[in-house]
Structure 1
């Protein structure tokens, strides 16, 4: 009988990207609807990085027990990536990954989404790529049709604070910060 392994991690403060936690998208590989998010984990957060690496090792052991036996598959895919090891093209597209590890977490069921007040988030616009928060995730092995690896499940997230939006979008306040508003402008329409 296999032992129960701890593969769950509640992260420290991470940055959210590619957020699809309110409306699932179709997974191209499986055709299933999935909720997902990409987490950018600062390399300076040694506690979270260590917890994630330990949970991945635990998931590998579960995979040995369940699928692989003594030796791990040669091309075992691990969801955790180093943002400093991107291709030049990806580095240009995703400069926010520098100095971070990143991973994609997903779930077939909707994750709990809390605001910084720890209450369920009502306004989906409050959660955007570039804001910061915490995530509850778990790691698990898979072996399907010759593809084997360690994936990351998404449990829940909580927004902690705003950040600069990713993807080139800026706030309306930022776009118009240099424009002076004069109260006399109202007289133009009288």
Structure 2
């Protein structure tokens, strides 16, 4: 993992932020922001998508225990449909940063865009979840939180198999939508859902 380049300039109050759930057809988009404690290092941080579920769950707990501060927030399905997923993701990340109990001096945002509503300076880091530990930590908090939310939804809508595909447009999920229609947690502005609604 590459070192914190920006930490030279911004001391220990450097936050990482990332989101989970831009691609699924259902559920909220969830974001997290994390300020790591340099005196309490966490080993094994990486892009959340490349970690096993068991490893993510273990790191989820460790990050919350060791971080100087963390915030988790979301943008609703209604906001996704109204704003589009990109702007909803930016909104969720700005909310996560705002929930930090310590105001960061600088925020590293995963991707190539920076939310407009942030309370401090920020920069985008392409593939940051694999390059910066604070972003990796944020990606883990966001993904575990979102996965837990969608697994709860699976209990309400068992015929859709959300616990397996987490809302992504798999063949199983698309077939379930064709058979059973959409649920209140489906994103109506997304192509496959919109097509079924219009058909």
Higher helix share: 2
Higher strand share: 1
**TM-score of the superposition, structure 2-length normalised?**
0.28
Greater radius of gyration (CA): 1
